[in-house]
Structure 1
Amino acid sequence: MTTTENPTLTPTGEKADLLGALAQHRFLFRHTVQGLTDEQAAATPTASELCLGGLVKHVARGERDWLRFVVEGTAAVAMTEDSYAEHAASFRMLPGETLAGVLAEYDAVAARTEEIVTGLPSLDVSHPLPEAPWFEPGAAWSARRVLAHVIAETAQHAGHADILRETIDGQKTMG
């Protein structure tokens, strides 16, 4: 039974632990961008080209795509010319985008992730990774490994976001 059939289904055990860790890092990430204007969220205040709104977009896109991999397999994360351009654009807030909009998309991705993970028969479900220089040839990732990767990416980019936020107005997420 999936959460689509029964929306009150609650994950337990390892699924609950992994989803809880991811939720904690999402909370810290969202806290970091709290109270910003769209202009602040689009600002690039450091030597890098990173902006806070773009980081939220990027993390949401990565989580969405990796959870699509869990469901659909290799093709969901295979890189194409278009996906390289989309990847680059995911680090920026584009004209017409708002912080509220990228946060709403992040919330939708988070809800879908919880639905997918809760409905999995096992975290051992796996698929081969696409061919890419950054993946070991012939490697496969389980849903468990994907969740560990999404948690690590979220935490890493939340740290980047904290630095950007402190540069913008001195606010710190922690400390």
Structure 2
Amino acid sequence: MSANDTAAANTGSDERADFLQALGQHRHFLRFATRDLTDEQAGQRTTASELCLGGLVKHVTSVERGWAGFMAEGPSAMPDFTAMTEADFAKRVDEFKMLPGETLAGVLDAYEKVAAATDELVASLPDLGAAHPLPKAPWFDGDAKWSARRVLMHIIAETAQHAGHADIIRESLDGAKTMG
């Protein structure tokens, strides 16, 4: 390891690049699972789950958009999950489906735009350690705060988890594998 590499490791100056590289890799696997599919195939359920490939991309897009907003603006960028109505929850369920009129190309384009905005935000944040209180939700501790760093780890984990789901769905659809 050179002196410059050691200095970078000690200061964490490559941390943003590491986060963006990991996130980019999992985004690639998620998108790759949709390669060469028709809109109909992207909306098809292939397992006992309600999940489809286009819906997974839509969901990850929404999740990343929300958490990027949280990093920039705090909990006001996120819904108050404790006050959501049935209609709000129904809308969230639709994130996991390809709805009439939606196309795979459109879903992937929306994801690409959110990914670019997130990458730009991460590069420009003054401090990855800056933390905000979490939004109101039954699954969060009332006093918990997450830093931008913690949010990025969450986005990476969410994307990786759903990329794995996408791999299984794609293999069930036509035998194509994403990661193997």
Same fold at TM > 0.5: yes
- 2 CA distance for matches of 1:174 and 1:45? 18
- 2 CA distance for matches of 1:96 and 1:21? 32
Q: Which runs of 5+ in 1 are unaligned?
A: 1-11
Matches within 5 A, 1:13-28: 13-28=14-29
Question: Match of 2:58?
Answer: 57
Question: Match of 1:5?
Answer: none
Matches within 5 A, 1:9-158: 13-78=14-79, 79=81, 80-81=84-85, 83-158=88-163
| Superposed displacement of residue 174, structure 1 | 1.7
What SS is found at the alignment partner of 1:33?
coil
Q: Which runs of 5+ in 2 are unaligned?
A: 1-12
Which range moves more in the overlay, 45-54 or 129-138?
Answer: 129-138
| Superposed displacement of residue 76, structure 1 | 1.6
Count residues in correspondence: 164
Find runs of 4+ consecutive structure 1 residues off by over 2 angstroms.
Answer: 78-86
- 2 CA distance for matches of 1:127 and 1:60? 21
Question: Match of 2:9?
Answer: none
Amino acid at match of 1:52: L
Could you give the per-residue CA deviations for residues 3-44 of structure 1, whole angstroms, max 9, x where no partner exists? xxxxxxxxx511110011000000111111111000000001
TM-score (norm 2): 0.88
| Superposed displacement of residue 83, structure 1 | 4.0
What SS is found at the alignment partner of 1:141?
strand
Question: Match of 1:4?
Answer: none
What SS is found at the alignment partner of 2:132?
strand
| Superposed displacement of residue 131, structure 1 | 2.2
- 2 CA distance for matches of 1:108 and 1:117? 14
Amino acid at match of 1:92: K
- 1 CA distance for matches of 2:91 and 2:20? 26
Structure 1 or 2, whichever has the larger Rg, is 2
Aligned-residue CA RMSD (Å): 1.1
| Superposed displacement of residue 126, structure 1 | 1.3
- 2 CA distance for matches of 1:144 and 1:113? 13
- 1 CA distance for matches of 2:27 and 2:136? 29
Could you give the per-residue CA deviations for residues 89-122 of structure 1, whole angstroms, max 9, x where no partner exists? 1000110000000000000000000111111001
What SS is found at the alignment partner of 2:146?
strand
- 2 CA distance for matches of 1:71 and 1:85? 27
1:172 corresponds to 2:168: no
